[in-house]
């Protein structure tokens, strides 16, 4: 009887434990599902203003592009050029209207702001359509200063509209993001409380569950913040690549044109110091623009995982040039403290885009720290410690950091700035990138005096540090005519024409040109060429495909293939090296100098 009772008790205990575990599972599933539904609903709400912000930014970008196209439209000479630009404007207008529809459906503020914005855009479109119609009927007598000022005023007004909508949407996104975070906290606390009731019977299950929930909560918050920042950096990268391509083509035309003028003058025996100085200033300006574009492109490569040899001095100076003028307008001066004993050409191994971000974050942090000071200064230096370590320091003359806060400044989301003025991720990202570069970071600060960040990196030896640099001078004209046959493939007619004229000045007579890949391939099949210069971004057949097709042909003499590019997209460098590097003889990156071409032809 007692044995049977004990057996029943064991069965009841097993049954109770089983029921308890089953109830725990059911309650847990219900609680987790409810939590996820609740959080997803709030996240959808947060997604609305975020997509509105992106759509308004896209509208702004298209408006600026239309404004630029209208300027080009005035300069058109043929009906074909006019049709091409008008077609582009129409496509941009379609994108604007599509984004307006999305904004009207999802904007959470005063809808009249959006409607006024759209109305003003339609007014500009009416004026624009009228001008295009006059151009088609040859009744357009050019743009007066008054109409130009009025058009610029309209564009400024549209951009101000878009900025107001962006600010509102961003603020609303931040507000809903905080609501989502608070909702998560409340939801997970409710789940924890529910599990706590069951922990009385199943302690080993409850404790593990709560820890997991709290851990996921923290990871979720951090992941959302990092994804938000990454999306903004990705947008910058796309914009930088686009801007680089748009700038490099016209810059190539201007650069080659100035070189042609100088070559032409020298060929005619002209000797004018004034003309030489003017054209030299032009070349320096072209170089300056090129450096800015390259800096943006380097920054846009942050998401690539490829490591390379990085010169700390070159990268820091490049970053200083990129943001120095912007900082100067805010009254902040960036100073490179370089002494006669400073090391020369010291380098580290890492991701160039990430190191750019590290320097920019440190400079931005120093700028913010010096707010309120009269003489705001950021000072950076590079030192060699021993034979293996490089010390990179960034100092400011700001308000300083209290000792009890120094240990927290590298923690994610920790910030001493006012609400809305910082995410608390800047220095955390600096610390993470420093660690990825096998470095260490330390900070020293004195209240009222300023703060110094010291980054220690292992030095690497660059076996390829000696790079070929072309002389900054115009090549001398040789009298002998050159018989090599050259083919130039580029969809920009002006680039082709100036390229041809420069080669003729250098003595090359057998020059052909093609506007697309198909035309180029037909010329190569029917004629003999010694050199083929091809742009990567050409219509009908891409530059890479053209190179493959040429390499597959059986020709009497295989031409040397030279790739020309305006701005390679992210990841394209590695794709190019893996795919066709073995097939090409050399690469020219716009804007290139004629002396680079001369060296390739005479190699």
**Does residue 375 sit in helix, strand or coil?**
coil
Weakest mean pLDDT among 112-121, 266-275, 391-400, 485-494: 266-275
CATH class of 21-201: mainly alpha
| Length of the chain, in residues | 603
Chain centre to alpha carbon of residue 576: 20
- pLDDT tens profile 43-92: 555 566 667 778 878 888 888 887 788 778 777 778 888 888 888 888 88
pTM (predicted TM-score): 0.39
Q: Is the separation of the CB atoms in 520 and 496 below 8 Å?
A: no
270 compared with 336, residue with greater pLDDT: 336
Strand partners, 482: 508
Of 549, 531, 538, nearest to 586 (Cα)?
531
Question: From residue 500, how far is each of 347, 393, 444, 484, 593 by CA, in Å?
Answer: 41, 49, 59, 13, 14
- Given the candidates 3.30.70.270, 3.30.565.10, 3.40.50.720, 1.20.200.10, the CATH classification of the domain at 310-458 is 3.30.565.10
Q: Which string of b and e fits 283-316 if b means at least 16 CB within 10 Å?
A: beebeebbebbbbbbbbbbbebeeeeebbbbebb
DSSP assignment of 526-561, as one string?
A: HS--SEEEEESS-SSS-HHHHHHHHHHS--SSPPEE
**To the nearest whole percent, how much of the chain has pLDDT over 70?**
58
pLDDT digits over 265-304, tens only? 666 665 556 566 666 666 666 665 666 666 555 555 554 5
pLDDT in tens, 122-150: 877 787 777 777 777 766 555 566 666 66
Q: Where are the domains of the chain?
A: 21-201, 256-303+470-603, 310-458
pLDDT (0 to 100) of residue 377: 92
Query: Which bin fits 333, alpha (ψ -120 to 50), beta or left (φ > 0)?
Result: beta
Answer yes or no: are the C-beta atoms of 594 and 502 closer than 8 Å. yes
The structural architecture, per CATH, of the domain 256-303+470-603 is: 3-Layer(aba) Sandwich (3.40)
Q: What's the pLDDT score for residue 1?
A: 47
List C-alpha distances in Å: 425 to 128, 460, 585: 44, 29, 45
Which residues are registered as beta bridge partners of 443? 453
Q: Who has greater pLDDT, 314 or 235?
A: 314
User: Is pLDDT above 50 for 200?
Assistant: yes
Distance between CA 434 and CA 428 in Å, rounded? 10
């Amino acid at each position: 009887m007692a044995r049977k009772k004990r057996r029943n008790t064991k069965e009841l205990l097993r049954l109770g434990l089983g029921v308890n575990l089953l109830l725990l599972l059911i309650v847990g599933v219900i609680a987790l599902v409810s939590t996820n539904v609740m959080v997803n609903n709030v996240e959808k709400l947060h997604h609305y203003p975020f997509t509105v912000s992106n759509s308004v930014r896209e509208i702004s970008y298209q408006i600026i592009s239309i404004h630029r196209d209208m300027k080009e439209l005035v300069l058109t000479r043929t009906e074909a050029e006019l049709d091409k630009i008008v077609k582009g404007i129409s496509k941009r207008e379609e994108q604007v209207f599509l984004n307006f529809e999305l904004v009207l459906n999802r904007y959470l503020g005063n809808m009249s702001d959006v409607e006024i914005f759209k109305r003003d855009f339609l007014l500009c479109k009416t004026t624009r359509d009228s001008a295009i119609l006059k151009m088609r009927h040859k009744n357009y007598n050019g743009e007066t200063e008054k109409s130009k000022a009025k058009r610029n005023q309209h564009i400024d007004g549209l951009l101000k509209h878009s900025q107001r909508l962006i600010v509102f949407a961003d603020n609303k996104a931040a507000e809903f993001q905080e609501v989502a975070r608070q909702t998560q906290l409340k939801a997970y606390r409710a789940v924890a409380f529910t599990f706590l009731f069951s922990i009385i019977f199943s302690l080993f299950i409850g404790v593990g569950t709560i820890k997991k929930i709290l851990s996921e909560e923290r990871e979720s918050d951090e992941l959302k913040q990092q994804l938000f920042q990454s999306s903004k950096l990705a947008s910058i990268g796309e914009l930088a690549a686009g801007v680089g391509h748009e700038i490099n083509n016209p810059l190539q035309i201007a650069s080659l044109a100035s070189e042609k003028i100088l070559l032409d003058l020298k060929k005619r025996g002209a000797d004018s110091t004034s003309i030489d100085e003017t054209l030299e200033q032009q070349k320096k300006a072209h170089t300056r623009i090129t450096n800015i574009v390259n800096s943006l492109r380097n920054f846009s490569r942050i998401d690539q995982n490829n490591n390379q040899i990085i010169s700390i001095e070159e990268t820091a100076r490049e970053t200083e040039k990129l943001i120095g003028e912007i900082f100067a307008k805010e009254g902040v001066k960036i100073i490179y403290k370089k002494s006669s004993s400073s090391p020369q050409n010291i380098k580290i191994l890492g991701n160039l885009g990430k190191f750019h971000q590290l320097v920019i974050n440190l400079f931005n942090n120093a700028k913010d720290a010096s707010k309120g000071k009269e003489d705001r200064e950021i000072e950076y230096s590079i030192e060699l410690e021993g034979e293996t370590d490089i010390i990179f320091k960034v100092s400011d003359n700001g308000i300083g950091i209290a000792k009890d806060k120094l240990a927290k400044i590298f923690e994610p989301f920790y910030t001493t700035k006012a609400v809305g003025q910082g995410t608390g991720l800047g220095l955390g990202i600096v610390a993470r990138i420093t660690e990825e570069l096998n470095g260490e970071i330390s900070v020293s600060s004195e209240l009222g005096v300023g703060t110094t960040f010291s980054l220690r990196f292992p030095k690497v030896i660059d076996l390829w540090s000696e790079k070929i640099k072309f002389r900054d001078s115009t090549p001398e004209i040789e009298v002998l005519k050159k018989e090599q046959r050259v083919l130039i493939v580029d969809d920009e007619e002006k680039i082709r024409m100036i390229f041809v004229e420069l080669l003729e000045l250098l003595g090359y007579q057998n020059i052909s040109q093609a506007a697309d890949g198909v035309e180029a391939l037909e010329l190569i099949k029917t004629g003999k060429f010694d050199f083929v210069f091809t742009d990567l971004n050409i219509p009908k057949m891409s530059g890479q495909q053209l190179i493959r097709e040429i390499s597959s042909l059986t020709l009497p003499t295989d031409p040397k293939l030279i790739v020309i590019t305006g701005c390679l997209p992210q990841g394209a460098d590695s794709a190019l090296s893996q795919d066709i590097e073995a097939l090409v003889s050399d690469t020219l990156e716009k804007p290139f100098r004629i002396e680079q071409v001369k060296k390739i032809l005479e190699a």
